[in-house]
Structure 1
Amino acid sequence: MAEPATISVVTICRNAAQGVARTLESVAAQDYPAIEHVVVDGASTDGTLAAIERHGRRLSRLVSEPDRGIADAFNRGIRLSTGRWVLMLNMGDAFIGTDALRRLSEGTGTGARIVSARARCGARMLPRYRVTDWIGPMLRAHLAHQATLVERGVYERHGGYDESFRIRMDFDFFLRVLPHERVEFIDRCLVEFEPGGVSGREFLLHWSEGRRALAGNRSGAFQRALYEAAFIAMGCERLLR
């Protein structure tokens, strides 16, 4: 029987001491037998490193040094990791149950190069729809990166995350690679993360960088119009809260 492929969980953070126990214990509790956990810390000053030392019993590698932003930290984590599959689980995020990685890994035997499930953010489920080939590139690119396995070869073929993006680098990445790579979608919620991250706080930047990602990946007029309509609806929803 073949050995299971190693999954590299990459966790980036800076001054995130309160989320360390939640994330590291969540990874350590997974029943998948071949996990590499890499933490890339952006030179935290708030006790994050001490918390990592307390809870990092299954940690494979820790690097703490200044970075140039989220995309730079993501790319650094990819370079430091060695597994065939890579998953980005930010500090404060957590797997739902001890079998989340095992369930994701079940999709890797289909020939897919990207395997994605749903993630829960507060009361919202992301993505809100089932990801299939026919829904179009803009909707397909709204995968929850916290619940997505990416085969290392995808990064080797298409490059990593564009460091010119402050927050929408994952959307840009999926827009770039999904037309060329097969995706397996698992209709199950396997990760939860707290609302109020940088994307939630900077609504206008989130919108403008999404527009730039669509333009840079030559998305058609219908896809761009759909994006604008979705953000108008999202803005109205925020005002009504």
Structure 2
Amino acid sequence: MQISIITVVLNNKKYIEDCIRSVYDQTYKNYEHIIIDGGSTDGTIELLKSLKLEKLKINTKKDYGIYDAMNKGIELAKGEIIVILNSDDIFADKNVLSLINSTFKQNRIEFFYSRLEMYDEKFEKIVRSWKTRKYSLKDLKIGYHPPHPTLFVKKKVYNEIGKFRTDMTLASDYEFVLRLFFSKKYQFVNVSKVLVKMRYGGVSTRNFMSHIVSNYESYKSWQLNNLKIDPLIMVRKPLLKIKQFKIF
């Protein structure tokens, strides 16, 4: 099965090569790595072109934000499986794509998710650890859901239920997860293994205002999917995450 890895980037020359190398070092070679650059001016594009990697496909056409860029990557993808790997992040080891391929082949599923670890800038200390489990619809209603970087989905699913909404700035991935689970028509499994290492400090984790916007868009996501949720859940949501953080 061909795997399409999609990485959206804007002015991230500092870390993008780490991301790309973690893909290039994979033992499973039936993949393409699509880079969607939103108009970098810090030398990112020049760096990408200098790497001259055969499986690296660089798209520099204008986009209208991160979710529009993700959608463009999905449209360009030729693979049966879609993996979205943030430009700050890396695969946990060189066998991740092999495990993704075997998980889909051994199970009659349309998507799966795995564990996630968030690290400091140098990937030396674990800041936060997210452990996987099989989610029920009740879990989703109280704010528990798989983090998007660990979600691996067949392209046909995006074709059937739609891609990411572009009228949101932080929570369109959450809205997609709700749509995916509440469609109740796809089979999935969870894999209790860390497949992605994430640098802590992404767009949705940066400041107080980001949390306000994220919570508003999360609440809006429920309304868009004709679902009812207690608004207080959005207030309690940060408390659910406290036990995931590592105290040194």
After TM superposition, the score normalised by the length of structure 2 is 0.85
Which residue of 2, 6, 17 corresponds with 1:6?
2
Query: Please, what is the CA RMSD of the aligned residues?
Result: 2.6
Matches for 1:1-241 after TM superposition, within 5 Å: 5-109=1-105, 110-122=107-119, 123-126=127-130, 128-133=131-136, 135-138=138-141, 142-179=145-182, 180=184, 181-201=186-206, 202-221=210-229, 225-231=232-238
Q: Structure 1 vs Structure 2: percent identity of aligned residues?
A: 23
Once the two structures are superposed, residues 103-155 of structure 1 have per-residue CA deviations (whole angstroms, 9 ceiling, x without a partner) of 122221311101211121122123x4413346533468732322221101101
**Code of the aligned partner of 2:39:** A
Taking a change above 3 Å as real, the CA distance of residues 140 and 103 of structure 1, as seen in their structure-2 partners, is: farther
CA contact (8 A) 2:86 2:149 kept: yes
2:124 match? none
Query: Cα distance, 1:65 vs. partner?
Result: 2.4
Residue 122 of structure 2 is matched in structure 1 by none
Q: Distance in 2 between matches of 1:232 and 1:211?
A: 17
Distance (Å, rounded) in 2 between the aligned partners of 1:207 and 1:136: 17
Separation of aligned partners in 2, 1:22 and 1:130 = 29
Equivalent position SS for 1:164: coil
What is the CA–CA distance in structure 2 between the aligned matches of 1:118 and 1:58, rounded to whole Å? 30
Query: Aligned partners of 1:203, 1:227: CA distance in 2, in Å?
Result: 10
Distance in 2 (CA, whole Å) between partners of 1:71 and 1:139 is 25
Which ranges of structure 1 fall in alignment gaps of 5 or more residues? Answer: none
Q: CA deviation at 1:44?
A: 0.6
Distance in 1, matches of 2:142 and 2:160, equals: 23
Cα distance in 2 for partners of 1:225, 1:52 equals 45
Q: 1:130 to 1:194 in 2, by over 3 A?
A: same
1:92 Cα shift? 1.6
Q: Say which SS state the counterpart of residue 18 (structure 1) adopts.
A: coil
Once the two structures are overlaid, the 10-residue window that deviates more, 143-152 or 187-196, is 143-152
The CA deviation string for residues 157-213 of structure 1, in whole angstroms up to 9 with x for no partner, is 101000011011111001011123222110111111111111012221122111111
Give the count of matched residue pairs.
234
Deviations, residues 82-111 of structure 1 (Å, cap 9, x unaligned):
100001101121001100121122221311
Query: For residues 64 and 4 of structure 2, what CA distance do their matches in structure 1 show?
Result: 22
Query: 1:9–1:38: 8 Å Cα contact kept in structure 2?
Result: yes
Structure having the higher helix fraction is: 1
Cα displacement string for residues 37-56 of structure 1 (whole angstroms, at most 9, x for unaligned residues):
11000011000012212335
Distance change in 2, residues 1:45/1:203 (3 Å): same
The answer to whether the Cα contact below 8 Å between 2:116 and 2:197 also exists between their aligned partners in 1 is: yes
